[in-house]
Structure 1
Amino acid sequence: MPRLALGLLTALTVVSVTGVTTVAIARERGWSLPRLTAGEPEPQPVTVVLRRGGGDVFAAADDAPSLHLSGILQRQAVAQATIPPFRGTDAQWAGLVRCVQDRFDGYAVEVTDQVPTDGTYSLAYIGGTPDLLGYAETVGGIAPHANRVLPGSVLFVFQPEGVAERALCETTAHEIGHTLGLDHSRDCSDIMSYESCGEKEFRPQAARCGEWEDRDCDDGQPLQNAHGVLAAAVGTRPRRAPEPTPDAPPASADRPAIAVQRSAQAVVGQPFTVTVELSSTDAQTVDLYWYARRGYRLRCGETHESVAFTCHREGSTHTFTLTPTRAGARKFNVRVTDSAGRMTKTPTYRVRFDPAS
Protein backbone atom coordinates (compact mmCIF):
# COMPACT_ATOMS: atom_id res chain seq x y z
CA MET A 1 0.00 0.00 0.00
CA PRO A 2 1.45 3.40 -0.84
CA ARG A 3 2.22 6.20 1.57
CA LEU A 4 1.19 9.82 1.33
CA ALA A 5 3.77 12.38 0.28
CA LEU A 6 3.20 15.97 1.28
CA GLY A 7 4.47 18.76 -0.91
CA LEU A 8 4.67 22.02 0.95
CA LEU A 9 4.86 25.54 -0.16
CA THR A 10 8.61 26.09 -0.62
CA ALA A 11 10.77 29.11 -1.11
CA LEU A 12 12.47 30.10 -4.35
CA THR A 13 15.47 32.40 -4.09
CA VAL A 14 13.77 35.28 -5.86
CA VAL A 15 13.76 38.54 -3.94
CA SER A 16 11.60 41.52 -4.94
CA VAL A 17 10.49 39.92 -8.18
CA THR A 18 7.96 37.17 -7.62
CA GLY A 19 6.21 35.09 -5.04
CA VAL A 20 6.27 31.34 -4.88
CA THR A 21 4.55 28.42 -3.37
CA THR A 22 6.12 26.15 -1.54
CA VAL A 23 6.38 26.26 2.54
CA ALA A 24 6.59 24.56 6.05
CA ILE A 25 6.84 20.91 5.81
CA ALA A 26 5.85 17.98 7.84
CA ARG A 27 7.77 14.73 7.56
CA GLU A 28 6.25 12.34 5.06
CA ARG A 29 3.94 10.07 6.92
CA GLY A 30 1.29 7.56 6.23
CA TRP A 31 1.14 4.24 4.59
CA SER A 32 3.26 1.11 4.92
CA LEU A 33 4.49 -0.75 1.88
CA PRO A 34 6.10 -4.19 1.57
CA ARG A 35 9.58 -3.80 0.09
CA LEU A 36 10.15 -5.07 -3.43
CA THR A 37 12.49 -8.05 -3.32
CA ALA A 38 12.54 -9.17 -6.95
CA GLY A 39 15.01 -7.92 -9.55
CA GLU A 40 14.92 -4.43 -10.97
CA PRO A 41 11.61 -3.89 -12.81
CA GLU A 42 11.49 -2.88 -16.44
CA PRO A 43 10.98 0.83 -17.16
CA GLN A 44 7.28 1.65 -17.12
CA PRO A 45 6.25 4.67 -19.26
CA VAL A 46 3.38 6.63 -17.73
CA THR A 47 0.75 9.17 -18.72
CA VAL A 48 -0.26 11.97 -16.37
CA VAL A 49 -3.38 14.06 -17.02
CA LEU A 50 -3.50 17.57 -15.54
CA ARG A 51 -7.13 18.35 -14.68
CA ARG A 52 -8.13 21.98 -15.08
CA GLY A 53 -11.85 21.73 -14.40
CA GLY A 54 -11.83 20.44 -10.83
CA GLY A 55 -14.88 18.43 -9.83
CA ASP A 56 -16.10 15.98 -7.23
CA VAL A 57 -13.68 13.38 -5.83
CA PHE A 58 -14.78 10.47 -3.65
CA ALA A 59 -13.02 8.43 -0.99
CA ALA A 60 -12.03 4.85 -1.86
CA ALA A 61 -9.52 2.24 -0.81
CA ASP A 62 -7.68 2.55 -4.13
CA ASP A 63 -7.21 5.34 -6.65
CA ALA A 64 -9.29 5.20 -9.83
CA PRO A 65 -8.81 8.31 -12.00
CA SER A 66 -11.63 7.55 -14.44
CA LEU A 67 -14.09 7.22 -11.53
CA HIS A 68 -12.62 10.13 -9.53
CA LEU A 69 -11.84 7.86 -6.58
CA SER A 70 -8.99 8.71 -4.23
CA GLY A 71 -7.26 6.78 -1.47
CA ILE A 72 -5.98 10.08 -0.07
CA LEU A 73 -9.54 11.12 0.79
CA GLN A 74 -10.20 7.82 2.54
CA ARG A 75 -7.06 8.15 4.63
CA GLN A 76 -8.05 11.70 5.51
CA ALA A 77 -11.57 10.55 6.45
CA VAL A 78 -13.03 12.89 3.83
CA ALA A 79 -15.93 11.14 2.10
CA GLN A 80 -16.20 13.63 -0.77
CA ALA A 81 -14.44 16.81 -1.82
CA THR A 82 -15.29 19.29 -4.54
CA ILE A 83 -12.08 20.65 -6.06
CA PRO A 84 -12.48 24.11 -7.64
CA PRO A 85 -11.23 24.61 -11.20
CA PHE A 86 -7.79 26.02 -11.95
CA ARG A 87 -7.89 29.76 -11.44
CA GLY A 88 -6.39 31.47 -14.50
CA THR A 89 -6.64 32.23 -18.19
CA ASP A 90 -6.32 29.82 -21.10
CA ALA A 91 -2.82 31.16 -21.72
CA GLN A 92 -1.81 30.60 -18.10
CA TRP A 93 -3.13 27.04 -18.18
CA ALA A 94 -1.30 26.31 -21.44
CA GLY A 95 1.85 27.74 -19.87
CA LEU A 96 1.50 25.47 -16.83
CA VAL A 97 1.03 22.37 -19.00
CA ARG A 98 4.11 23.28 -21.08
CA CYS A 99 6.14 23.94 -17.97
CA VAL A 100 5.36 20.55 -16.44
CA GLN A 101 6.05 18.88 -19.78
CA ASP A 102 9.42 20.62 -19.86
CA ARG A 103 10.31 19.26 -16.42
CA PHE A 104 9.74 15.71 -17.66
CA ASP A 105 11.32 16.28 -21.08
CA GLY A 106 13.65 13.37 -21.84
CA TYR A 107 11.72 10.88 -19.69
CA ALA A 108 8.95 8.53 -20.83
CA VAL A 109 6.32 10.57 -18.99
CA GLU A 110 3.47 11.88 -21.15
CA VAL A 111 2.02 15.01 -19.54
CA THR A 112 -1.25 16.17 -21.08
CA ASP A 113 -4.54 17.85 -20.19
CA GLN A 114 -6.56 15.46 -22.36
CA VAL A 115 -7.81 12.14 -20.97
CA PRO A 116 -6.60 9.30 -23.23
CA THR A 117 -9.17 7.08 -24.91
CA ASP A 118 -7.52 3.94 -23.54
CA GLY A 119 -4.74 2.84 -21.23
CA THR A 120 -3.85 3.69 -17.65
CA TYR A 121 -3.19 7.25 -16.59
CA SER A 122 -2.63 9.21 -13.39
CA LEU A 123 -4.77 12.26 -12.66
CA ALA A 124 -3.54 15.49 -11.07
CA TYR A 125 -6.18 17.95 -9.87
CA ILE A 126 -4.84 21.51 -10.12
CA GLY A 127 -6.75 23.96 -7.97
CA GLY A 128 -8.34 24.56 -4.61
CA THR A 129 -6.76 24.77 -1.19
CA PRO A 130 -5.38 22.11 1.17
CA ASP A 131 -8.09 22.55 3.80
CA LEU A 132 -10.50 20.82 1.40
CA LEU A 133 -8.69 17.58 2.21
CA GLY A 134 -7.95 18.37 5.83
CA TYR A 135 -4.37 19.62 5.40
CA ALA A 136 -2.68 22.73 6.77
CA GLU A 137 -2.46 25.88 4.65
CA THR A 138 1.28 25.31 4.12
CA VAL A 139 0.76 22.10 2.12
CA GLY A 140 1.23 22.72 -1.60
CA GLY A 141 0.25 19.28 -2.82
CA ILE A 142 -0.29 15.65 -1.84
CA ALA A 143 0.36 12.40 -3.70
CA PRO A 144 0.76 8.65 -3.08
CA HIS A 145 4.37 7.46 -2.76
CA ALA A 146 5.80 3.94 -2.60
CA ASN A 147 9.43 3.85 -3.87
CA ARG A 148 8.16 2.62 -7.23
CA VAL A 149 5.88 3.72 -10.05
CA LEU A 150 2.23 3.90 -9.01
CA PRO A 151 0.28 3.96 -12.30
CA GLY A 152 -3.27 5.19 -12.04
CA SER A 153 -2.61 7.53 -9.12
CA VAL A 154 -4.84 10.44 -8.10
CA LEU A 155 -2.93 13.44 -6.75
CA PHE A 156 -3.68 17.02 -5.80
CA VAL A 157 -1.81 20.29 -6.41
CA PHE A 158 -3.30 23.27 -4.62
CA GLN A 159 -3.51 26.82 -5.93
CA PRO A 160 -3.55 29.30 -3.04
CA GLU A 161 -3.85 33.03 -3.63
CA GLY A 162 -0.68 34.59 -4.97
CA VAL A 163 1.14 31.40 -5.94
CA ALA A 164 3.62 32.07 -8.74
CA GLU A 165 3.31 30.20 -12.04
CA ARG A 166 6.76 28.60 -11.85
CA ALA A 167 6.19 27.51 -8.27
CA LEU A 168 2.87 25.88 -9.22
CA CYS A 169 4.62 24.09 -12.08
CA GLU A 170 7.42 22.79 -9.86
CA THR A 171 4.98 21.69 -7.16
CA THR A 172 3.05 19.74 -9.82
CA ALA A 173 6.24 18.05 -11.04
CA HIS A 174 7.21 17.35 -7.41
CA GLU A 175 3.94 15.55 -6.66
CA ILE A 176 4.11 13.57 -9.92
CA GLY A 177 7.65 12.62 -8.94
CA HIS A 178 6.38 11.01 -5.75
CA THR A 179 4.05 8.76 -7.78
CA LEU A 180 7.10 7.68 -9.79
CA GLY A 181 9.07 6.57 -6.74
CA LEU A 182 11.01 9.70 -5.80
CA ASP A 183 11.65 10.72 -2.20
CA HIS A 184 12.35 14.26 -0.96
CA SER A 185 15.81 15.59 -1.78
CA ARG A 186 18.09 17.90 0.20
CA ASP A 187 19.53 19.36 -3.04
CA CYS A 188 17.83 22.77 -3.28
CA SER A 189 18.06 22.70 -7.10
CA ASP A 190 16.18 19.39 -7.32
CA ILE A 191 12.44 19.36 -8.01
CA MET A 192 12.03 16.95 -5.09
CA SER A 193 13.44 19.45 -2.56
CA TYR A 194 11.37 21.61 -0.22
CA GLU A 195 14.04 24.30 -0.44
CA SER A 196 14.97 26.33 -3.51
CA CYS A 197 17.97 28.13 -4.89
CA GLY A 198 16.78 28.87 -8.43
CA GLU A 199 15.07 26.97 -11.20
CA LYS A 200 14.74 23.26 -10.53
CA GLU A 201 15.21 19.99 -12.40
CA PHE A 202 15.47 16.29 -11.60
CA ARG A 203 19.16 16.40 -10.73
CA PRO A 204 21.60 13.80 -12.09
CA GLN A 205 23.80 14.04 -8.97
CA ALA A 206 23.23 11.91 -5.89
CA ALA A 207 22.07 13.79 -2.78
CA ARG A 208 20.83 13.03 0.71
CA CYS A 209 17.10 12.63 1.22
CA GLY A 210 15.12 14.66 3.70
CA GLU A 211 12.85 17.61 4.24
CA TRP A 212 14.78 20.15 6.35
CA GLU A 213 17.39 17.73 7.74
CA ASP A 214 19.40 14.91 6.13
CA ARG A 215 18.10 11.36 6.51
CA ASP A 216 18.31 8.03 4.72
CA CYS A 217 15.95 7.67 1.78
CA ASP A 218 12.73 5.70 2.15
CA ASP A 219 14.19 2.85 0.11
CA GLY A 220 16.94 2.44 2.73
CA GLN A 221 19.68 4.01 0.63
CA PRO A 222 21.74 6.95 1.93
CA LEU A 223 21.50 8.92 -1.35
CA GLN A 224 19.07 9.50 -4.21
CA ASN A 225 19.87 10.41 -7.80
CA ALA A 226 16.53 11.77 -9.03
CA HIS A 227 17.45 11.57 -12.71
CA GLY A 228 18.71 8.01 -12.33
CA VAL A 229 15.62 6.88 -10.42
CA LEU A 230 13.30 8.37 -13.05
CA ALA A 231 15.26 6.95 -15.98
CA ALA A 232 15.17 3.47 -14.43
CA ALA A 233 11.51 3.72 -13.40
CA VAL A 234 9.89 5.08 -16.56
CA GLY A 235 12.62 5.03 -19.21
CA THR A 236 13.99 7.83 -21.36
CA ARG A 237 13.18 9.29 -24.76
CA PRO A 238 14.73 11.97 -27.00
CA ARG A 239 14.32 15.50 -25.71
CA ARG A 240 12.08 17.89 -27.63
CA ALA A 241 13.66 20.67 -29.64
CA PRO A 242 13.56 23.82 -27.50
CA GLU A 243 11.10 26.52 -28.48
CA PRO A 244 12.39 30.07 -28.88
CA THR A 245 11.53 32.17 -25.85
CA PRO A 246 10.79 35.89 -25.96
CA ASP A 247 12.77 38.29 -23.86
CA ALA A 248 11.38 38.57 -20.36
CA PRO A 249 9.87 41.92 -19.46
CA PRO A 250 11.73 43.91 -16.82
CA ALA A 251 10.63 43.44 -13.23
CA SER A 252 8.11 46.03 -12.11
CA ALA A 253 9.68 48.89 -10.21
CA ASP A 254 6.43 49.21 -8.28
CA ARG A 255 6.81 45.85 -6.58
CA PRO A 256 8.13 46.42 -3.05
CA ALA A 257 11.58 45.18 -2.17
CA ILE A 258 11.98 43.37 1.16
CA ALA A 259 14.86 43.55 3.62
CA VAL A 260 14.81 41.18 6.60
CA GLN A 261 16.76 41.30 9.85
CA ARG A 262 16.51 38.86 12.75
CA SER A 263 17.67 38.79 16.34
CA ALA A 264 21.38 38.07 16.68
CA GLN A 265 20.73 35.46 19.37
CA ALA A 266 18.14 32.69 19.43
CA VAL A 267 17.56 31.31 22.92
CA VAL A 268 14.56 29.41 24.25
CA GLY A 269 12.34 31.60 26.40
CA GLN A 270 13.74 34.87 25.09
CA PRO A 271 11.99 37.15 22.56
CA PHE A 272 13.10 36.60 18.98
CA THR A 273 12.35 39.30 16.42
CA VAL A 274 12.09 39.33 12.64
CA THR A 275 12.10 42.87 11.25
CA VAL A 276 10.70 43.39 7.76
CA GLU A 277 11.61 46.62 5.99
CA LEU A 278 9.67 47.38 2.80
CA SER A 279 10.60 49.83 0.06
CA SER A 280 6.96 50.93 -0.11
CA THR A 281 4.06 51.40 2.29
CA ASP A 282 1.68 49.93 -0.33
CA ALA A 283 1.37 46.53 1.37
CA GLN A 284 -1.97 44.80 1.80
CA THR A 285 -0.59 41.88 3.81
CA VAL A 286 2.74 41.10 5.46
CA ASP A 287 3.07 37.44 6.45
CA LEU A 288 5.78 35.61 8.36
CA TYR A 289 5.79 31.90 7.47
CA TRP A 290 7.25 30.11 10.48
CA TYR A 291 8.28 26.45 10.31
CA ALA A 292 8.85 24.25 13.34
CA ARG A 293 7.27 20.78 13.41
CA ARG A 294 4.74 22.20 10.97
CA GLY A 295 4.28 25.49 9.19
CA TYR A 296 2.29 28.51 10.30
CA ARG A 297 1.29 31.71 8.56
CA LEU A 298 1.58 34.65 10.95
CA ARG A 299 -0.06 37.75 9.50
CA CYS A 300 0.76 41.19 10.81
CA GLY A 301 -2.36 42.65 12.40
CA GLU A 302 -3.91 39.28 13.21
CA THR A 303 -3.51 36.57 15.85
CA HIS A 304 -2.88 32.84 15.44
CA GLU A 305 -4.56 30.16 17.52
CA SER A 306 -1.44 27.96 17.67
CA VAL A 307 1.46 30.44 17.81
CA ALA A 308 1.76 33.38 20.19
CA PHE A 309 3.33 36.38 18.46
CA THR A 310 3.06 40.12 18.12
CA CYS A 311 3.61 42.36 15.11
CA HIS A 312 4.31 46.06 15.42
CA ARG A 313 4.06 48.27 12.36
CA GLU A 314 5.67 51.67 11.98
CA GLY A 315 5.50 53.09 8.47
CA SER A 316 7.03 50.51 6.13
CA THR A 317 8.69 48.58 8.98
CA HIS A 318 7.00 45.50 10.46
CA THR A 319 8.50 43.75 13.49
CA PHE A 320 7.36 40.24 14.41
CA THR A 321 8.21 38.98 17.92
CA LEU A 322 7.98 35.35 19.03
CA THR A 323 9.21 33.53 22.15
CA PRO A 324 9.84 29.84 21.32
CA THR A 325 9.60 27.40 24.22
CA ARG A 326 11.57 24.51 22.71
CA ALA A 327 15.12 24.24 21.44
CA GLY A 328 15.89 23.15 17.90
CA ALA A 329 15.87 24.26 14.28
CA ARG A 330 13.34 26.63 12.78
CA LYS A 331 12.91 28.17 9.35
CA PHE A 332 11.08 31.25 8.19
CA ASN A 333 10.38 33.42 5.18
CA VAL A 334 8.36 36.57 4.55
CA ARG A 335 5.67 37.19 1.94
CA VAL A 336 4.25 40.59 1.09
CA THR A 337 1.19 41.21 -1.08
CA ASP A 338 0.68 44.70 -2.51
CA SER A 339 -2.58 46.47 -3.37
CA ALA A 340 -2.44 45.07 -6.92
CA GLY A 341 -2.46 41.52 -5.55
CA ARG A 342 1.17 40.80 -6.47
CA MET A 343 3.21 38.82 -4.00
CA THR A 344 6.90 39.21 -3.19
CA LYS A 345 8.70 36.55 -1.20
CA THR A 346 12.08 36.24 0.48
CA PRO A 347 14.29 33.17 0.55
CA THR A 348 13.85 30.80 3.48
CA TYR A 349 16.15 31.52 6.42
CA ARG A 350 17.36 29.04 9.05
CA VAL A 351 17.72 29.62 12.78
CA ARG A 352 18.55 27.24 15.64
CA PHE A 353 17.28 27.99 19.14
CA ASP A 354 19.64 27.07 21.98
CA PRO A 355 18.40 25.93 25.39
CA ALA A 356 18.31 28.60 28.07
CA SER A 357 21.47 28.50 30.18
Structure 2
Amino acid sequence: MHRTGGRVVAGDYDDSRRWVSHTVQTTGRKDAVMPGFEGSDAEWRGMLSCARNEYAGLPVDFVEKPPANGEYLLVFVGGSPTNMGMSRMWGWASAGSKEVVPHGVGFVFSADHKAKDRTIALCETLAHEVGHMIGLDHSTDCNDVMSTNAACRNRDYKHGRIRGFQSPNLAILASSLATWGRSAQDPTTRLADDAADKTQKVRANVPQQQKTPPAR
Protein backbone atom coordinates (compact mmCIF):
# COMPACT_ATOMS: atom_id res chain seq x y z
CA MET A 1 0.00 0.00 0.00
CA HIS A 2 1.53 3.29 -1.09
CA ARG A 3 0.24 6.46 0.49
CA THR A 4 2.58 9.27 -0.54
CA GLY A 5 2.22 9.31 -4.33
CA GLY A 6 4.93 9.44 -6.96
CA ARG A 7 5.76 8.93 -10.62
CA VAL A 8 4.58 5.68 -12.21
CA VAL A 9 6.13 4.76 -15.57
CA ALA A 10 4.29 3.11 -18.47
CA GLY A 11 5.42 -0.35 -19.52
CA ASP A 12 4.45 -3.54 -21.32
CA TYR A 13 4.15 -5.34 -17.99
CA ASP A 14 3.57 -4.30 -14.41
CA ASP A 15 6.60 -4.19 -12.13
CA SER A 16 5.77 -3.30 -8.55
CA ARG A 17 9.47 -3.02 -7.67
CA ARG A 18 10.17 -0.33 -10.26
CA TRP A 19 6.80 1.44 -10.31
CA VAL A 20 6.02 0.35 -13.85
CA SER A 21 2.37 0.01 -14.88
CA HIS A 22 0.75 -1.50 -17.95
CA THR A 23 -2.48 0.37 -17.24
CA VAL A 24 -0.59 3.67 -17.54
CA GLN A 25 0.68 2.49 -20.91
CA THR A 26 -2.87 1.90 -22.15
CA THR A 27 -3.61 5.61 -21.64
CA GLY A 28 -0.98 6.52 -24.23
CA ARG A 29 1.10 8.36 -21.66
CA LYS A 30 4.71 7.73 -20.77
CA ASP A 31 4.04 8.16 -17.08
CA ALA A 32 1.58 9.36 -14.48
CA VAL A 33 2.41 11.48 -11.45
CA MET A 34 0.06 10.40 -8.69
CA PRO A 35 -0.67 12.60 -5.66
CA GLY A 36 -0.60 11.10 -2.22
CA PHE A 37 -3.61 10.11 -0.14
CA GLU A 38 -5.56 13.23 0.83
CA GLY A 39 -7.68 11.65 3.55
CA SER A 40 -7.24 11.40 7.28
CA ASP A 41 -5.18 8.90 9.24
CA ALA A 42 -8.43 7.46 10.60
CA GLU A 43 -9.74 6.84 7.07
CA TRP A 44 -6.48 5.19 6.09
CA ARG A 45 -6.47 2.89 9.09
CA GLY A 46 -10.15 2.11 8.60
CA MET A 47 -9.64 1.28 4.93
CA LEU A 48 -6.76 -1.11 5.69
CA SER A 49 -8.58 -2.79 8.56
CA CYS A 50 -11.67 -3.27 6.41
CA ALA A 51 -9.67 -4.60 3.45
CA ARG A 52 -7.92 -7.11 5.70
CA ASN A 53 -11.34 -8.34 6.79
CA GLU A 54 -12.39 -8.68 3.15
CA TYR A 55 -9.50 -11.09 2.58
CA ALA A 56 -9.76 -12.88 5.93
CA GLY A 57 -8.89 -16.55 5.62
CA LEU A 58 -6.81 -15.99 2.48
CA PRO A 59 -3.00 -15.59 2.35
CA VAL A 60 -3.19 -11.86 1.64
CA ASP A 61 -1.71 -9.13 3.80
CA PHE A 62 -1.85 -5.37 3.42
CA VAL A 63 1.44 -3.70 4.38
CA GLU A 64 2.75 -0.16 4.02
CA LYS A 65 6.36 -1.02 3.19
CA PRO A 66 7.59 -3.41 0.48
CA PRO A 67 8.70 -6.76 1.90
CA ALA A 68 12.44 -7.36 1.98
CA ASN A 69 12.07 -10.60 0.04
CA GLY A 70 9.55 -12.18 -2.28
CA GLU A 71 7.01 -10.91 -4.77
CA TYR A 72 4.32 -8.40 -3.95
CA LEU A 73 1.54 -6.35 -5.50
CA LEU A 74 1.55 -2.56 -5.26
CA VAL A 75 -1.46 -0.27 -4.85
CA PHE A 76 -1.20 3.52 -5.07
CA VAL A 77 -3.91 5.24 -3.04
CA GLY A 78 -4.44 8.87 -3.92
CA GLY A 79 -5.33 11.28 -6.66
CA SER A 80 -7.90 11.01 -9.41
CA PRO A 81 -8.19 9.20 -12.76
CA THR A 82 -7.55 12.60 -14.34
CA ASN A 83 -3.92 12.21 -13.22
CA MET A 84 -3.78 9.44 -15.82
CA GLY A 85 -5.87 11.22 -18.43
CA MET A 86 -8.96 9.19 -17.54
CA SER A 87 -12.30 9.87 -15.87
CA ARG A 88 -15.22 8.26 -14.04
CA MET A 89 -13.27 5.53 -12.26
CA TRP A 90 -12.71 4.91 -8.57
CA GLY A 91 -9.89 2.47 -9.23
CA TRP A 92 -7.92 0.69 -11.92
CA ALA A 93 -5.62 -2.32 -11.99
CA SER A 94 -4.20 -4.92 -14.32
CA ALA A 95 -6.38 -8.01 -14.35
CA GLY A 96 -5.28 -11.61 -14.37
CA SER A 97 -7.46 -14.40 -15.74
CA LYS A 98 -7.90 -16.63 -12.69
CA GLU A 99 -4.23 -16.10 -11.85
CA VAL A 100 -2.16 -13.51 -10.05
CA VAL A 101 -0.60 -10.71 -12.11
CA PRO A 102 3.12 -10.99 -11.26
CA HIS A 103 4.33 -7.79 -9.59
CA GLY A 104 0.94 -6.22 -10.30
CA VAL A 105 0.31 -2.49 -9.89
CA GLY A 106 -3.08 -0.97 -9.14
CA PHE A 107 -4.63 2.37 -8.23
CA VAL A 108 -7.32 3.59 -5.86
CA PHE A 109 -8.33 7.12 -6.83
CA SER A 110 -9.22 8.30 -3.35
CA ALA A 111 -9.77 11.96 -4.24
CA ASP A 112 -12.83 10.99 -6.29
CA HIS A 113 -14.44 9.05 -3.45
CA LYS A 114 -17.21 11.43 -2.37
CA ALA A 115 -19.40 8.81 -0.72
CA LYS A 116 -21.13 9.49 2.59
CA ASP A 117 -18.94 6.85 4.22
CA ARG A 118 -15.59 7.16 2.47
CA THR A 119 -13.99 4.43 4.55
CA ILE A 120 -16.45 1.82 3.28
CA ALA A 121 -16.14 3.09 -0.29
CA LEU A 122 -12.34 3.12 -0.18
CA CYS A 123 -12.30 -0.35 1.34
CA GLU A 124 -14.49 -1.80 -1.39
CA THR A 125 -12.47 -0.15 -4.16
CA LEU A 126 -9.22 -1.43 -2.68
CA ALA A 127 -10.58 -4.96 -2.31
CA HIS A 128 -11.99 -4.78 -5.85
CA GLU A 129 -8.74 -3.70 -7.51
CA VAL A 130 -6.64 -6.20 -5.57
CA GLY A 131 -9.20 -8.80 -6.63
CA HIS A 132 -8.44 -8.02 -10.27
CA MET A 133 -4.71 -8.48 -9.68
CA ILE A 134 -5.37 -11.85 -8.02
CA GLY A 135 -7.35 -13.07 -11.01
CA LEU A 136 -10.96 -11.92 -10.70
CA ASP A 137 -13.15 -10.46 -13.41
CA HIS A 138 -16.20 -8.31 -12.81
CA SER A 139 -19.31 -9.89 -11.34
CA THR A 140 -23.04 -9.34 -11.85
CA ASP A 141 -23.77 -10.40 -8.26
CA CYS A 142 -24.88 -7.30 -6.36
CA ASN A 143 -23.51 -8.80 -3.13
CA ASP A 144 -20.02 -9.32 -4.56
CA VAL A 145 -17.40 -6.60 -4.19
CA MET A 146 -16.39 -7.28 -7.81
CA SER A 147 -19.84 -6.27 -9.05
CA THR A 148 -20.26 -3.58 -11.68
CA ASN A 149 -23.90 -4.45 -12.32
CA ALA A 150 -25.67 -1.22 -13.28
CA ALA A 151 -28.72 -2.37 -11.36
CA CYS A 152 -26.89 -2.34 -8.03
CA ARG A 153 -23.84 -0.12 -8.30
CA ASN A 154 -25.43 3.12 -7.06
CA ARG A 155 -24.86 2.89 -3.32
CA ASP A 156 -24.71 5.77 -0.88
CA TYR A 157 -22.30 3.86 1.41
CA LYS A 158 -23.92 5.44 4.45
CA HIS A 159 -23.92 2.77 7.16
CA GLY A 160 -24.07 0.34 4.26
CA ARG A 161 -23.23 -3.32 4.52
CA ILE A 162 -19.80 -3.93 3.11
CA ARG A 163 -19.88 -6.29 0.16
CA GLY A 164 -17.53 -9.25 0.19
CA PHE A 165 -16.40 -11.97 -2.18
CA GLN A 166 -19.07 -14.49 -3.12
CA SER A 167 -18.89 -17.91 -4.72
CA PRO A 168 -17.29 -18.68 -7.17
CA ASN A 169 -14.92 -15.75 -6.65
CA LEU A 170 -13.75 -17.04 -3.27
CA ALA A 171 -12.69 -20.29 -4.90
CA ILE A 172 -10.89 -18.46 -7.71
CA LEU A 173 -9.00 -16.31 -5.20
CA ALA A 174 -7.91 -19.35 -3.21
CA SER A 175 -6.80 -21.22 -6.34
CA SER A 176 -4.92 -18.24 -7.81
CA LEU A 177 -3.08 -17.58 -4.57
CA ALA A 178 -2.18 -21.24 -4.10
CA THR A 179 -0.73 -21.42 -7.62
CA TRP A 180 1.18 -18.18 -7.12
CA GLY A 181 2.56 -19.42 -3.82
CA ARG A 182 3.88 -22.60 -5.41
CA SER A 183 5.51 -20.75 -8.31
CA ALA A 184 7.16 -18.30 -5.92
CA GLN A 185 8.98 -21.23 -4.32
CA ASP A 186 10.39 -22.31 -7.68
CA PRO A 187 13.97 -20.97 -8.00
CA THR A 188 13.45 -20.48 -11.75
CA THR A 189 10.73 -17.91 -11.14
CA ARG A 190 11.90 -16.35 -7.90
CA LEU A 191 13.14 -12.79 -8.37
CA ALA A 192 16.50 -11.95 -6.86
CA ASP A 193 17.24 -8.25 -6.56
CA ASP A 194 17.43 -6.71 -10.05
CA ALA A 195 18.92 -9.66 -11.92
CA ALA A 196 17.84 -9.13 -15.53
CA ASP A 197 17.79 -12.82 -16.44
CA LYS A 198 15.45 -13.67 -13.56
CA THR A 199 13.22 -10.72 -14.48
CA GLN A 200 12.80 -11.97 -18.03
CA LYS A 201 11.85 -15.47 -16.85
CA VAL A 202 9.09 -14.08 -14.69
CA ARG A 203 7.84 -11.71 -17.35
CA ALA A 204 7.52 -14.60 -19.76
CA ASN A 205 4.84 -15.97 -17.48
CA VAL A 206 2.81 -12.77 -17.34
CA PRO A 207 -0.74 -13.30 -18.65
CA GLN A 208 -2.23 -10.97 -21.24
CA GLN A 209 -3.40 -8.07 -19.15
CA GLN A 210 -6.69 -6.26 -19.54
CA LYS A 211 -6.26 -3.26 -21.83
CA THR A 212 -9.58 -1.55 -21.23
CA PRO A 213 -10.34 0.30 -18.02
CA PRO A 214 -12.27 -1.93 -15.60
CA ALA A 215 -14.69 0.84 -14.66
CA ARG A 216 -15.26 0.69 -10.94
Q: TM-score range by the shorter chain?
A: 0.7 to 0.9
* Residue ranges of structure 1 left out of the alignment (5+ in a row): 1-49, 205-224, 236-294, 296-357
Matched, 1:105 2:48: no
Q: Cα–Cα, structure 1 residues 155 and 117, in superposed 2: closer, same or farther, change >3 Å?
A: same
Report the alpha carbon displacement of residue 162 of structure 1 after superposing the two structures with TM. Answer: 2.1
- Which of 69, 75, 96 is the matching residue for 1:146? 96
Q: Deviations over 1:262-309 (max 9, x none)?
A: xxxxxxxxxxxxxxxxxxxxxxxxxxxxxxxxx9xxxxxxxxxxxxxx
Q: How far apart, CA to CA, are the structure 1 residues paired with 2:79 and 2:162?
A: 24
2:105 and 2:127 map into 1 onto residues whose CA distance is: 14
Q: Which residue in the other structure is 1:233 paired with?
A: 176
Computed over aligned residues only, the root mean square deviation of the Cα atoms, in angstroms, reads 1.7
- State the distance in 2 between where 1:157 and 1:88 align: 12
Contact 2:13 2:21 in 1 (8 A): yes
Work out the CA distance in 2 between the residues paired with 1:143 and 1:162.
Answer: 20
Shift of 1:190: 0.4
Q: 2: distance between equivalents of 1:161 and 1:229?
A: 28
Shift of 1:179: 0.9
Over the matched positions of the two proteins, sequence identity in percent amounts to: 35
Shift of residue 66, structure 1, vs aligned partner: 1.7
**Retained in 2: the 8 A contact 1:52–1:126?**
yes
From the CA coordinates, give the structure whose radius of gyration is larger. Answer: 1
1:165, distance to aligned residue in structure 2 (A)? 1.4
- CA distances 1:41-84 after superposition (whole Å, capped 9, x unpaired): xxxxxxxxx11111111112221112111111112111121111
SS in 1 for 2:90: strand
2:52 and 2:27 map into 1 onto residues whose CA distance is: 30
**Amino acid of the structure 2 residue aligned with 1:226:** N
Report Cα offsets for 1:148-179 as digits up to 9, x if no partner. Answer: 21121011110115242101110111011011
SS at match of 1:57: strand
Structure 1: distance between partners of 2:176 and 2:28: 31
- What does residue 13 of structure 2 align with? 62
Tell me what 1:118 maps to.
Answer: 69
SS of 1:66's partner is coil
Match of 1:130 in 2: 81
1:137-158 Cα deviation digits (max 9, x unpaired)? x211111113121121011110
CA contact (8 A) 1:63 1:154 kept: yes
**C-alpha distance in structure 2 between counterparts of 1:158 and 1:100, whole Å:** 16
Other-structure match for 1:199: 162
Q: Could you say if the C-alpha distance between residues 161 and 173 of structure 1 is closer, same or farther in structure 2, counting changes exceeding 3 Å?
A: closer
The answer to which structure has the higher strand fraction is 1
- CA distance in 2 between partners of 1:233 and 1:79 (Å): 31
**2:123 maps to which residue?**
169
TM-score by length of 1: 0.45
| Aligned-partner SS, 1:98 | helix
Does residue 75 (structure 1) correspond to residue 30 (structure 2)? The answer is no
Query: Does the CA contact (< 8 Å) of 1:127 and 1:158 recur in 2?
Result: yes
Pairwise CA distance, 1:91:
2.2
The structure-2 alpha-carbon separation of the partners of 1:122 and 1:200, relative to structure 1 and needing over 3 Å to count, comes to same
Describe the SS at the equivalent of 1:169: helix
* Amino acid in the other structure paired with 1:183: D
**Counterpart code for 1:97:** L
3-state secondary structure, aligned to 1:142: strand
**1:165/1:108 CA distance change after superposition, 3 Å:** same
TM-score, with structure 2 as normaliser:
0.72
The answer on whether the counterparts of 2:27 and 2:84 sit within 8 Å (CA) in structure 1 is yes
Whether 1:190 and 2:141 are equivalent positions in the alignment is: no
Contact residue 90 and residue 113 of structure 2 kept, 8 A: no
Q: Secondary structure at the match of 1:230?
A: helix
Report if the CA contact (8 A) 1:97-1:113 is conserved: no
| 1:297-336 alignment runs, 5 A limit | none
SS of residue in 2 equivalent to 1:192: coil
Q: CA deviation at 1:114?
A: 1.8
